[in-house]
Chains A and B, each alone.
Chain A
Amino acid sequence: MAIIDVWHRMMDLLPFSWAHYVFMKNALLAVLLVTPCFGLLGTMVVNNRMAFFTDVLGHSALTGIAIGVLLGFYDPTLPMVVLAIFLAIGINLLKDRTKASADTVLGVLFAFIVALGIVILSRQGGFVKYTSYLIGDILAVSPQQVTWFFAIAIVVLLYWYLVGNSLILTSVNPSLARSRRINTFFVETSFTILLALVVVISIRLVGILIINSFLVLPAAASRNFARNMHSYSLGAVIISILSGITGLIISYYWGTASGATIVLFAAGCYAISILPGRWLTK
Protein backbone atom coordinates (compact mmCIF):
# COMPACT_ATOMS: atom_id res chain seq x y z
CA MET A 1 0.00 0.00 0.00
CA ALA A 2 1.29 3.42 -0.98
CA ILE A 3 0.84 4.93 2.47
CA ILE A 4 2.92 2.17 4.03
CA ASP A 5 5.73 2.77 1.50
CA VAL A 6 5.72 6.48 2.28
CA TRP A 7 5.82 5.63 5.97
CA HIS A 8 8.80 3.34 5.47
CA ARG A 9 10.74 6.08 3.63
CA MET A 10 9.90 8.60 6.34
CA MET A 11 11.22 6.22 8.98
CA ASP A 12 14.51 5.87 7.05
CA LEU A 13 15.11 9.56 7.66
CA LEU A 14 15.24 8.99 11.43
CA PRO A 15 18.75 8.79 12.88
CA PHE A 16 18.00 5.71 15.05
CA SER A 17 19.17 2.19 14.35
CA TRP A 18 15.79 0.67 15.29
CA ALA A 19 13.98 2.86 12.78
CA HIS A 20 15.61 1.09 9.83
CA TYR A 21 14.21 -2.38 10.46
CA VAL A 22 11.08 -3.19 8.49
CA PHE A 23 9.48 -4.97 11.46
CA MET A 24 9.98 -1.89 13.63
CA LYS A 25 8.55 0.37 10.93
CA ASN A 26 5.42 -1.73 10.67
CA ALA A 27 5.18 -2.14 14.42
CA LEU A 28 5.40 1.60 15.05
CA LEU A 29 2.75 2.33 12.44
CA ALA A 30 0.48 -0.29 13.98
CA VAL A 31 1.03 1.23 17.42
CA LEU A 32 0.27 4.74 16.14
CA LEU A 33 -2.97 3.51 14.58
CA VAL A 34 -4.22 1.32 17.40
CA THR A 35 -3.25 3.24 20.54
CA PRO A 36 -5.50 6.30 19.92
CA CYS A 37 -8.43 3.92 19.40
CA PHE A 38 -7.70 2.19 22.68
CA GLY A 39 -7.37 5.54 24.41
CA LEU A 40 -10.78 6.69 23.18
CA LEU A 41 -12.62 3.40 23.71
CA GLY A 42 -11.01 3.11 27.14
CA THR A 43 -12.62 6.36 28.33
CA MET A 44 -16.09 4.87 27.99
CA VAL A 45 -15.01 1.44 29.24
CA VAL A 46 -13.85 3.09 32.46
CA ASN A 47 -16.88 5.42 32.68
CA ASN A 48 -19.26 2.49 32.24
CA ARG A 49 -17.27 0.22 34.55
CA MET A 50 -16.84 -2.34 31.83
CA ALA A 51 -13.23 -3.32 32.61
CA PHE A 52 -14.18 -6.85 33.59
CA PHE A 53 -16.43 -7.16 30.56
CA THR A 54 -13.63 -6.27 28.14
CA ASP A 55 -11.32 -8.66 29.97
CA VAL A 56 -13.78 -11.47 29.21
CA LEU A 57 -13.89 -10.34 25.56
CA GLY A 58 -10.09 -10.40 25.37
CA HIS A 59 -9.87 -13.87 26.88
CA SER A 60 -12.60 -15.16 24.57
CA ALA A 61 -9.99 -14.87 21.82
CA LEU A 62 -8.47 -18.07 23.19
CA THR A 63 -11.71 -19.93 22.59
CA GLY A 64 -12.09 -18.21 19.22
CA ILE A 65 -8.70 -19.60 18.18
CA ALA A 66 -9.71 -23.02 19.47
CA ILE A 67 -12.93 -22.99 17.44
CA GLY A 68 -10.92 -21.87 14.42
CA VAL A 69 -8.57 -24.82 14.88
CA LEU A 70 -11.48 -27.25 15.21
CA LEU A 71 -13.14 -25.91 12.06
CA GLY A 72 -9.85 -25.97 10.17
CA PHE A 73 -9.33 -22.20 9.75
CA TYR A 74 -5.77 -21.26 8.80
CA ASP A 75 -6.21 -17.71 10.14
CA PRO A 76 -8.31 -17.72 13.34
CA THR A 77 -9.23 -14.02 13.11
CA LEU A 78 -12.72 -14.65 11.74
CA PRO A 79 -13.83 -17.17 14.40
CA MET A 80 -12.26 -14.95 17.08
CA VAL A 81 -14.20 -11.91 15.89
CA VAL A 82 -17.47 -13.82 15.49
CA LEU A 83 -17.23 -15.39 18.93
CA ALA A 84 -16.32 -12.10 20.62
CA ILE A 85 -19.23 -10.27 18.97
CA PHE A 86 -21.60 -13.09 19.83
CA LEU A 87 -20.38 -12.98 23.42
CA ALA A 88 -20.63 -9.17 23.63
CA ILE A 89 -24.26 -9.20 22.47
CA GLY A 90 -25.02 -12.18 24.70
CA ILE A 91 -23.65 -10.49 27.83
CA ASN A 92 -25.50 -7.30 26.94
CA LEU A 93 -28.81 -9.16 26.71
CA LEU A 94 -28.12 -11.27 29.78
CA LYS A 95 -27.22 -8.22 31.87
CA ASP A 96 -30.83 -7.00 31.99
CA ARG A 97 -32.38 -10.42 32.40
CA THR A 98 -30.63 -11.96 35.33
CA LYS A 99 -30.81 -11.16 38.99
CA ALA A 100 -27.21 -12.25 39.67
CA SER A 101 -24.76 -9.37 39.94
CA ALA A 102 -22.86 -8.45 36.81
CA ASP A 103 -19.48 -9.55 38.12
CA THR A 104 -20.82 -12.96 39.07
CA VAL A 105 -22.20 -13.48 35.57
CA LEU A 106 -18.96 -12.26 34.01
CA GLY A 107 -16.83 -14.29 36.42
CA VAL A 108 -18.67 -17.49 35.53
CA LEU A 109 -18.46 -16.73 31.82
CA PHE A 110 -14.79 -15.82 32.07
CA ALA A 111 -13.87 -19.13 33.69
CA PHE A 112 -16.00 -21.11 31.27
CA ILE A 113 -14.70 -19.47 28.12
CA VAL A 114 -11.01 -19.67 29.11
CA ALA A 115 -11.32 -23.29 30.25
CA LEU A 116 -13.09 -24.26 27.03
CA GLY A 117 -10.36 -22.64 24.94
CA ILE A 118 -7.55 -24.30 26.89
CA VAL A 119 -9.20 -27.73 26.80
CA ILE A 120 -9.57 -27.62 23.02
CA LEU A 121 -6.12 -26.18 22.35
CA SER A 122 -4.29 -28.47 24.76
CA ARG A 123 -5.41 -31.70 23.08
CA GLN A 124 -2.34 -33.89 22.58
CA GLY A 125 -0.19 -31.37 24.44
CA GLY A 126 -0.38 -28.82 21.64
CA PHE A 127 -0.93 -25.68 23.73
CA VAL A 128 2.65 -24.40 23.36
CA LYS A 129 1.94 -23.51 19.72
CA TYR A 130 -0.51 -20.86 20.84
CA THR A 131 1.43 -19.12 23.58
CA SER A 132 2.30 -16.27 21.17
CA TYR A 133 -1.36 -15.24 21.43
CA LEU A 134 -1.01 -14.93 25.17
CA ILE A 135 1.72 -12.32 25.12
CA GLY A 136 1.31 -10.97 21.59
CA ASP A 137 3.97 -9.95 19.11
CA ILE A 138 3.90 -6.44 17.67
CA LEU A 139 7.11 -7.06 15.76
CA ALA A 140 5.43 -9.78 13.67
CA VAL A 141 2.83 -7.38 12.28
CA SER A 142 2.46 -7.71 8.52
CA PRO A 143 1.70 -4.81 6.15
CA GLN A 144 -1.64 -6.50 5.49
CA GLN A 145 -2.48 -6.34 9.20
CA VAL A 146 -1.46 -2.70 9.26
CA THR A 147 -4.15 -1.99 6.66
CA TRP A 148 -6.61 -3.67 9.04
CA PHE A 149 -5.58 -1.27 11.77
CA PHE A 150 -6.09 1.61 9.36
CA ALA A 151 -9.64 0.44 8.83
CA ILE A 152 -10.22 0.05 12.56
CA ALA A 153 -8.89 3.52 13.33
CA ILE A 154 -11.26 5.03 10.77
CA VAL A 155 -14.25 3.06 12.07
CA VAL A 156 -13.54 4.02 15.70
CA LEU A 157 -13.09 7.71 14.88
CA LEU A 158 -16.23 7.78 12.78
CA TYR A 159 -18.21 5.95 15.46
CA TRP A 160 -16.94 8.26 18.16
CA TYR A 161 -17.82 11.25 16.04
CA LEU A 162 -21.37 10.09 15.31
CA VAL A 163 -22.37 8.18 18.44
CA GLY A 164 -20.08 9.73 21.09
CA ASN A 165 -22.65 12.08 22.62
CA SER A 166 -25.36 9.41 22.71
CA LEU A 167 -22.90 7.07 24.38
CA ILE A 168 -22.15 9.60 27.10
CA LEU A 169 -25.83 10.36 27.77
CA THR A 170 -26.70 6.66 27.82
CA SER A 171 -23.93 5.99 30.31
CA VAL A 172 -25.16 8.81 32.57
CA ASN A 173 -28.77 7.61 32.53
CA PRO A 174 -30.44 5.37 29.93
CA SER A 175 -33.93 6.75 30.61
CA LEU A 176 -32.66 10.31 30.22
CA ALA A 177 -31.07 9.27 26.93
CA ARG A 178 -34.31 7.64 25.76
CA SER A 179 -36.29 10.75 26.65
CA ARG A 180 -34.03 12.53 24.16
CA ARG A 181 -34.95 9.99 21.49
CA ILE A 182 -31.69 8.10 21.62
CA ASN A 183 -31.94 4.43 20.73
CA THR A 184 -30.07 3.18 23.78
CA PHE A 185 -30.21 -0.45 22.69
CA PHE A 186 -28.42 0.44 19.47
CA VAL A 187 -25.91 2.60 21.33
CA GLU A 188 -25.05 -0.04 23.93
CA THR A 189 -24.98 -2.93 21.49
CA SER A 190 -22.96 -1.15 18.82
CA PHE A 191 -20.43 -0.03 21.43
CA THR A 192 -19.92 -3.56 22.74
CA ILE A 193 -19.62 -4.92 19.18
CA LEU A 194 -17.03 -2.27 18.36
CA LEU A 195 -15.12 -3.14 21.54
CA ALA A 196 -15.19 -6.82 20.64
CA LEU A 197 -13.94 -6.07 17.16
CA VAL A 198 -11.09 -3.80 18.21
CA VAL A 199 -9.96 -5.95 21.14
CA VAL A 200 -9.91 -9.19 19.13
CA ILE A 201 -8.25 -7.76 16.04
CA SER A 202 -5.55 -6.14 18.18
CA ILE A 203 -4.96 -9.28 20.22
CA ARG A 204 -1.86 -10.24 18.21
CA LEU A 205 -0.22 -6.98 19.17
CA VAL A 206 -0.43 -7.10 22.94
CA GLY A 207 -1.65 -10.58 23.71
CA ILE A 208 -4.64 -11.98 25.54
CA LEU A 209 -3.13 -11.64 29.00
CA ILE A 210 -2.69 -7.88 29.03
CA ILE A 211 -4.87 -6.46 26.25
CA ASN A 212 -7.34 -5.23 28.84
CA SER A 213 -4.80 -3.08 30.65
CA PHE A 214 -3.96 -1.57 27.28
CA LEU A 215 -7.58 -0.44 27.15
CA VAL A 216 -8.11 0.57 30.76
CA LEU A 217 -4.83 2.12 31.97
CA PRO A 218 -4.61 5.26 29.76
CA ALA A 219 -8.21 6.22 30.52
CA ALA A 220 -7.85 5.42 34.21
CA ALA A 221 -4.73 7.61 34.40
CA SER A 222 -6.28 10.47 32.42
CA ARG A 223 -9.37 10.40 34.60
CA ASN A 224 -7.35 11.46 37.60
CA PHE A 225 -6.45 14.76 35.93
CA ALA A 226 -9.47 15.42 33.74
CA ARG A 227 -12.09 18.07 34.48
CA ASN A 228 -14.29 17.34 31.47
CA MET A 229 -14.80 14.85 28.65
CA HIS A 230 -12.51 16.73 26.31
CA SER A 231 -9.47 16.70 28.60
CA TYR A 232 -10.34 13.13 29.61
CA SER A 233 -10.35 11.88 26.00
CA LEU A 234 -7.32 13.92 25.00
CA GLY A 235 -5.35 12.74 28.04
CA ALA A 236 -6.23 9.10 27.43
CA VAL A 237 -5.21 9.30 23.76
CA ILE A 238 -1.92 11.06 24.56
CA ILE A 239 -1.00 8.63 27.35
CA SER A 240 -1.93 5.72 25.11
CA ILE A 241 0.18 6.90 22.14
CA LEU A 242 3.08 7.90 24.39
CA SER A 243 3.06 4.51 26.15
CA GLY A 244 2.87 2.76 22.76
CA ILE A 245 5.86 4.56 21.24
CA THR A 246 8.01 4.54 24.39
CA GLY A 247 7.21 0.93 25.24
CA LEU A 248 7.97 -0.24 21.71
CA ILE A 249 11.35 1.51 21.57
CA ILE A 250 12.36 0.43 25.09
CA SER A 251 11.43 -3.17 24.26
CA TYR A 252 13.75 -2.98 21.23
CA TYR A 253 16.73 -2.07 23.44
CA TRP A 254 15.83 -4.37 26.30
CA GLY A 255 14.85 -7.28 24.10
CA THR A 256 11.57 -7.69 25.96
CA ALA A 257 7.99 -8.40 24.82
CA SER A 258 6.75 -5.10 23.34
CA GLY A 259 3.12 -5.40 24.46
CA ALA A 260 4.07 -5.93 28.09
CA THR A 261 6.63 -3.12 27.98
CA ILE A 262 3.98 -0.74 26.63
CA VAL A 263 1.59 -1.76 29.39
CA LEU A 264 4.30 -1.25 32.03
CA PHE A 265 4.83 2.29 30.77
CA ALA A 266 1.08 2.96 30.85
CA ALA A 267 0.97 1.57 34.39
CA GLY A 268 3.75 4.04 35.27
CA CYS A 269 1.58 6.86 33.94
CA TYR A 270 -1.28 5.63 36.07
CA ALA A 271 0.97 5.52 39.15
CA ILE A 272 1.96 9.15 38.55
CA SER A 273 -1.69 10.13 38.08
CA ILE A 274 -2.68 8.88 41.53
CA LEU A 275 0.05 10.84 43.31
CA PRO A 276 -1.49 13.62 45.35
CA GLY A 277 -1.69 16.87 43.40
CA ARG A 278 0.60 18.73 45.83
CA TRP A 279 3.49 16.33 45.07
CA LEU A 280 3.20 16.98 41.37
CA THR A 281 3.00 20.75 41.59
CA LYS A 282 5.94 21.14 43.97
Chain B
Amino acid sequence: MRDALQNTCEHRCAKIDNLTVKLGGNVILDNVNLHVDCGEVIGIVGPNGAGKTTLLRTLLGEIPYHGSIAFRISGSLTKKPKIGYVPQKLQFDLSSPISVADLVAAAINSKPIWAGVSKELLEKAESVLSLFSAEHLLKRRIGELSGGELQRVLLAIAMTPEPELLLLDEPASGVDVKGLFLFYQIVDDLRKKHHIAVILVTHDLAGVSCYVNRLILLNRSVIAEGAPQDVLSDEKLVKAFGPSLWNISCLPDSISKEADNGNH
Protein backbone atom coordinates (compact mmCIF):
# COMPACT_ATOMS: atom_id res chain seq x y z
CA MET B 1 0.00 0.00 0.00
CA ARG B 2 2.80 2.40 0.87
CA ASP B 3 4.45 2.00 -2.52
CA ALA B 4 1.24 2.90 -4.29
CA LEU B 5 0.88 6.00 -2.19
CA GLN B 6 4.39 7.18 -2.85
CA ASN B 7 3.82 6.85 -6.53
CA THR B 8 0.66 8.92 -6.56
CA CYS B 9 2.13 11.72 -4.56
CA GLU B 10 5.76 12.48 -4.17
CA HIS B 11 5.47 16.23 -3.97
CA ARG B 12 4.82 16.79 -0.33
CA CYS B 13 6.84 15.62 2.59
CA ALA B 14 8.34 16.66 5.85
CA LYS B 15 11.93 15.80 6.54
CA ILE B 16 13.20 16.13 10.08
CA ASP B 17 16.92 15.60 10.57
CA ASN B 18 18.92 15.59 13.79
CA LEU B 19 16.23 17.50 15.63
CA THR B 20 17.24 18.43 19.16
CA VAL B 21 15.10 20.51 21.48
CA LYS B 22 16.22 21.76 24.87
CA LEU B 23 13.87 23.44 27.28
CA GLY B 24 15.23 24.97 30.47
CA GLY B 25 18.44 22.91 30.30
CA ASN B 26 16.57 19.61 29.81
CA VAL B 27 16.91 17.71 26.58
CA ILE B 28 13.34 17.01 25.48
CA LEU B 29 14.11 15.70 22.00
CA ASP B 30 17.49 14.23 21.20
CA ASN B 31 18.61 13.80 17.62
CA VAL B 32 15.24 12.85 16.16
CA ASN B 33 15.15 11.80 12.51
CA LEU B 34 11.80 11.46 10.86
CA HIS B 35 10.61 11.53 7.28
CA VAL B 36 6.96 11.82 6.44
CA ASP B 37 5.71 11.07 2.96
CA CYS B 38 2.49 12.57 1.85
CA GLY B 39 -0.51 10.32 1.89
CA GLU B 40 1.03 8.64 4.86
CA VAL B 41 -0.30 8.53 8.40
CA ILE B 42 2.45 8.26 10.96
CA GLY B 43 1.56 7.29 14.48
CA ILE B 44 3.87 8.49 17.22
CA VAL B 45 3.61 6.66 20.50
CA GLY B 46 5.70 6.87 23.60
CA PRO B 47 5.46 7.19 27.36
CA ASN B 48 4.50 10.41 29.13
CA GLY B 49 7.23 13.00 28.86
CA ALA B 50 8.69 11.33 25.77
CA GLY B 51 8.54 14.62 23.87
CA LYS B 52 5.58 13.81 21.63
CA THR B 53 3.74 17.07 22.11
CA THR B 54 7.03 18.98 21.99
CA LEU B 55 7.69 17.45 18.58
CA LEU B 56 4.33 18.73 17.31
CA ARG B 57 4.87 22.17 18.80
CA THR B 58 8.31 22.31 17.21
CA LEU B 59 6.78 21.50 13.83
CA LEU B 60 4.26 24.28 14.44
CA GLY B 61 7.19 26.66 14.85
CA GLU B 62 6.55 27.38 18.52
CA ILE B 63 9.77 26.07 19.99
CA PRO B 64 13.37 26.84 19.00
CA TYR B 65 15.37 23.79 17.91
CA HIS B 66 18.68 22.54 16.57
CA GLY B 67 18.81 20.43 13.46
CA SER B 68 16.77 20.79 10.35
CA ILE B 69 13.09 20.65 9.53
CA ALA B 70 12.37 20.87 5.83
CA PHE B 71 9.10 20.69 3.99
CA ARG B 72 8.90 19.98 0.31
CA ILE B 73 5.67 21.25 -1.16
CA SER B 74 5.00 20.59 -4.84
CA GLY B 75 8.65 20.04 -5.50
CA SER B 76 9.99 23.18 -3.85
CA LEU B 77 11.39 23.52 -0.36
CA THR B 78 9.56 25.67 2.14
CA LYS B 79 10.02 26.61 5.77
CA LYS B 80 6.35 27.33 6.31
CA PRO B 81 3.95 24.77 4.95
CA LYS B 82 0.23 24.97 5.55
CA ILE B 83 -0.28 22.99 8.71
CA GLY B 84 -3.57 21.76 10.05
CA TYR B 85 -3.46 21.18 13.77
CA VAL B 86 -5.94 19.47 16.05
CA PRO B 87 -5.00 20.20 19.66
CA GLN B 88 -5.27 17.60 22.38
CA LYS B 89 -7.87 19.38 24.43
CA LEU B 90 -9.00 22.93 24.67
CA GLN B 91 -8.46 24.79 27.90
CA PHE B 92 -11.58 26.89 27.82
CA ASP B 93 -14.26 27.06 30.40
CA LEU B 94 -17.39 25.16 29.54
CA SER B 95 -19.71 28.13 29.93
CA SER B 96 -17.84 30.04 27.24
CA PRO B 97 -20.36 31.60 24.84
CA ILE B 98 -18.40 30.62 21.73
CA SER B 99 -20.51 28.67 19.26
CA VAL B 100 -19.19 26.15 16.76
CA ALA B 101 -20.11 28.61 14.00
CA ASP B 102 -18.06 31.30 15.79
CA LEU B 103 -15.02 29.07 16.07
CA VAL B 104 -15.13 27.94 12.45
CA ALA B 105 -15.86 31.45 11.15
CA ALA B 106 -13.09 33.03 13.26
CA ALA B 107 -10.64 30.49 11.88
CA ILE B 108 -11.52 30.59 8.20
CA ASN B 109 -12.26 34.27 7.61
CA SER B 110 -11.07 37.64 8.82
CA LYS B 111 -14.39 39.47 9.19
CA PRO B 112 -14.92 40.07 12.89
CA ILE B 113 -17.37 37.48 14.22
CA TRP B 114 -18.40 39.51 17.28
CA ALA B 115 -20.21 41.82 14.87
CA GLY B 116 -22.24 38.85 13.68
CA VAL B 117 -21.66 35.91 11.35
CA SER B 118 -23.19 36.56 7.92
CA LYS B 119 -25.56 34.05 6.35
CA GLU B 120 -23.06 33.39 3.62
CA LEU B 121 -20.34 32.62 6.13
CA LEU B 122 -22.69 30.41 8.14
CA GLU B 123 -23.35 28.37 5.02
CA LYS B 124 -19.64 28.09 4.37
CA ALA B 125 -19.03 26.96 7.95
CA GLU B 126 -21.83 24.43 7.60
CA SER B 127 -20.39 22.99 4.41
CA VAL B 128 -16.95 22.74 6.01
CA LEU B 129 -18.45 20.89 8.97
CA SER B 130 -20.59 18.62 6.83
CA LEU B 131 -17.47 16.91 5.47
CA PHE B 132 -16.83 15.68 8.99
CA SER B 133 -20.38 14.75 10.02
CA ALA B 134 -20.56 17.84 12.22
CA GLU B 135 -22.93 20.22 10.41
CA HIS B 136 -25.67 19.69 13.00
CA LEU B 137 -23.36 21.18 15.66
CA LEU B 138 -23.21 24.61 14.00
CA LYS B 139 -25.34 26.48 16.56
CA ARG B 140 -24.11 24.62 19.62
CA ARG B 141 -21.70 26.18 22.08
CA ILE B 142 -18.28 24.53 22.05
CA GLY B 143 -18.61 23.80 25.77
CA GLU B 144 -21.66 21.62 25.06
CA LEU B 145 -19.90 19.27 22.64
CA SER B 146 -18.72 15.79 23.50
CA GLY B 147 -15.03 15.04 23.10
CA GLY B 148 -15.60 13.33 19.75
CA GLU B 149 -17.82 16.11 18.41
CA LEU B 150 -15.32 18.82 19.36
CA GLN B 151 -12.59 16.80 17.73
CA ARG B 152 -14.47 16.61 14.42
CA VAL B 153 -15.12 20.36 14.55
CA LEU B 154 -11.41 20.99 15.15
CA LEU B 155 -10.53 18.60 12.35
CA ALA B 156 -12.90 20.45 10.01
CA ILE B 157 -11.11 23.69 10.89
CA ALA B 158 -7.68 22.09 10.48
CA MET B 159 -8.69 20.89 7.00
CA THR B 160 -9.83 24.34 5.82
CA PRO B 161 -8.03 25.35 3.71
CA GLU B 162 -6.53 21.98 2.90
CA PRO B 163 -3.17 21.71 4.70
CA GLU B 164 -0.03 20.02 3.48
CA LEU B 165 0.66 18.49 6.83
CA LEU B 166 -1.92 17.50 9.42
CA LEU B 167 -0.89 17.23 13.06
CA LEU B 168 -3.17 15.42 15.49
CA ASP B 169 -2.37 15.58 19.17
CA GLU B 170 -3.80 12.77 21.29
CA PRO B 171 -7.11 12.37 19.45
CA ALA B 172 -7.97 9.49 21.79
CA SER B 173 -8.11 11.51 24.99
CA GLY B 174 -11.62 12.24 26.20
CA VAL B 175 -13.27 10.53 23.24
CA ASP B 176 -15.37 7.38 23.45
CA VAL B 177 -14.54 4.34 21.36
CA LYS B 178 -17.23 4.98 18.74
CA GLY B 179 -16.23 8.61 18.30
CA LEU B 180 -12.59 7.64 18.07
CA PHE B 181 -13.14 5.09 15.33
CA LEU B 182 -15.24 7.56 13.36
CA PHE B 183 -12.37 10.00 13.74
CA TYR B 184 -9.75 7.49 12.59
CA GLN B 185 -11.88 6.59 9.60
CA ILE B 186 -12.21 10.22 8.61
CA VAL B 187 -8.44 10.65 8.87
CA ASP B 188 -7.93 7.50 6.84
CA ASP B 189 -10.29 8.92 4.20
CA LEU B 190 -8.45 12.22 4.12
CA ARG B 191 -5.17 10.45 3.61
CA LYS B 192 -6.54 8.42 0.72
CA LYS B 193 -8.47 11.20 -1.00
CA HIS B 194 -6.23 14.20 -0.40
CA HIS B 195 -2.83 12.54 0.04
CA ILE B 196 -2.07 14.63 3.08
CA ALA B 197 0.77 13.73 5.36
CA VAL B 198 -0.58 13.06 8.83
CA ILE B 199 1.32 12.88 12.09
CA LEU B 200 -0.76 11.43 14.86
CA VAL B 201 0.47 11.49 18.43
CA THR B 202 -1.32 9.12 20.73
CA HIS B 203 -1.42 6.88 23.76
CA ASP B 204 -4.01 4.69 22.13
CA LEU B 205 -1.87 1.90 20.72
CA ALA B 206 -4.76 -0.43 20.05
CA GLY B 207 -6.80 1.91 17.90
CA VAL B 208 -4.04 3.70 16.10
CA SER B 209 -2.20 0.64 14.94
CA CYS B 210 -5.13 -0.26 12.69
CA TYR B 211 -5.03 3.03 10.84
CA VAL B 212 -1.43 4.18 10.58
CA ASN B 213 1.00 3.27 7.85
CA ARG B 214 3.99 3.58 10.08
CA LEU B 215 4.40 3.60 13.83
CA ILE B 216 7.17 5.38 15.64
CA LEU B 217 8.11 4.77 19.22
CA LEU B 218 9.48 8.00 20.59
CA ASN B 219 11.25 8.44 23.88
CA ARG B 220 13.32 11.59 23.42
CA SER B 221 14.68 9.99 20.28
CA VAL B 222 13.23 7.46 17.87
CA ILE B 223 13.44 4.09 19.66
CA ALA B 224 11.70 1.96 17.05
CA GLU B 225 10.14 2.63 13.68
CA GLY B 226 8.29 0.55 11.15
CA ALA B 227 5.02 -1.16 10.29
CA PRO B 228 2.68 -1.19 13.31
CA GLN B 229 2.78 -4.94 13.80
CA ASP B 230 6.59 -4.96 13.75
CA VAL B 231 6.93 -2.10 16.19
CA LEU B 232 4.28 -3.50 18.49
CA SER B 233 6.09 -6.80 18.77
CA ASP B 234 9.31 -4.98 19.63
CA GLU B 235 10.66 -5.65 23.10
CA LYS B 236 11.52 -1.98 23.57
CA LEU B 237 7.86 -1.15 23.42
CA VAL B 238 7.11 -3.46 26.30
CA LYS B 239 9.83 -1.72 28.25
CA ALA B 240 8.32 1.67 27.53
CA PHE B 241 4.67 0.80 28.04
CA GLY B 242 4.64 -2.29 30.19
CA PRO B 243 3.27 -5.68 29.19
CA SER B 244 -0.38 -4.68 29.64
CA LEU B 245 -0.61 -3.53 26.06
CA TRP B 246 0.30 -6.79 24.46
CA ASN B 247 -3.22 -7.71 23.50
CA ILE B 248 -3.85 -5.41 20.64
CA SER B 249 -6.61 -6.11 18.21
CA CYS B 250 -8.46 -3.89 15.83
CA LEU B 251 -12.15 -3.46 16.41
CA PRO B 252 -14.23 -5.63 14.10
CA ASP B 253 -15.76 -3.91 11.08
CA SER B 254 -19.25 -4.18 12.51
CA ILE B 255 -18.44 -1.88 15.41
CA SER B 256 -16.71 0.75 13.35
CA LYS B 257 -19.63 0.74 10.89
CA GLU B 258 -22.04 1.13 13.76
CA ALA B 259 -20.02 4.10 14.98
CA ASP B 260 -20.23 5.57 11.53
CA ASN B 261 -24.00 5.18 11.33
CA GLY B 262 -24.57 6.46 14.82
CA ASN B 263 -22.94 9.75 14.02
CA HIS B 264 -24.43 10.49 10.65
A residues contacting B by CB (< 8 A) are: 40, 43, 47, 49, 160-162, 164-165, 168-169, 171-173, 175-176, 178-181, 222-223, 226-233
Residue numbers in A under 8 Å from B167 (CB-CB): 179
Determine which of B83, B102, B109 lies in contact with A229 in the assembled complex, contact meaning CB atoms within 8 Å: B102
Please tell me if the beta carbons of B85 and A176 are within 8 angstroms of each other in the complex: yes
Residue numbers in A under 8 Å from B90 (CB-CB): 172-173, 176
Q: Mark out the residues of chain B between 116 and 173 whose CB falls within 8 Å of any chain A CB in the assembled complex.
A: 116-117, 139, 141-142, 154, 157-158, 167
Interface size on B, residues (CB 8 A): 40
Distance A155 CA – B99 CA, assembled complex (angstroms): 27
Please tell me if the beta carbons of A168 and B110 are within 8 angstroms of each other in the complex: no
Please tell me if the beta carbons of B106 and A169 are within 8 angstroms of each other in the complex: yes
Please tell me if the beta carbons of B97 and A223 are within 8 angstroms of each other in the complex: yes
Which 9 residue pairs spanning A and B have beta carbons closest together?
A: A179-B85, A226-B97, A228-B99, A233-B114, A164-B112, A165-B106, A232-B97, A229-B102, A230-B116
Residue of B nearest to A223 (CB): B97
Residue of B nearest to A44 (CB): B114
Please tell me if the beta carbons of A40 and B114 are within 8 angstroms of each other in the complex: yes
B residues contacting A by CB (< 8 A) are: 57, 60-62, 80, 83-85, 87, 90-93, 95-99, 101-103, 105-107, 109-117, 139, 141-142, 154, 157-158, 167
Residue numbers in A under 8 Å from B114 (CB-CB): 40, 43, 160, 164, 168, 229-230, 232-233
**Given contacts A49-B93, A164-B112, A169-B107, are A228 and B141 in contact (CB under 8 A)?**
yes
Residue numbers in B under 8 Å from A165 (CB-CB): 105-107, 109-113
Looking at the assembled complex, report how far the CB atom of B104 sits from the nearest CB atom of chain A, in whole angstroms. Answer: 11
Residue numbers in A under 8 Å from B91 (CB-CB): 173
Please tell me if the beta carbons of B112 and A161 are within 8 angstroms of each other in the complex: yes
Please tell me if the beta carbons of A179 and B116 are within 8 angstroms of each other in the complex: no
**Given contacts A40-B114, A176-B87, are A228 and B60 in contact (CB under 8 A)?**
no
Looking at the assembled complex, report how far the CB atom of A258 sits from the nearest CB atom of chain B, in whole angstroms. Answer: 28
Distance A200 CA – B88 CA, assembled complex (angstroms): 38
Residue numbers in B under 8 Å from A49 (CB-CB): 93
Distance A1 CA – B154 CA, assembled complex (angstroms): 50
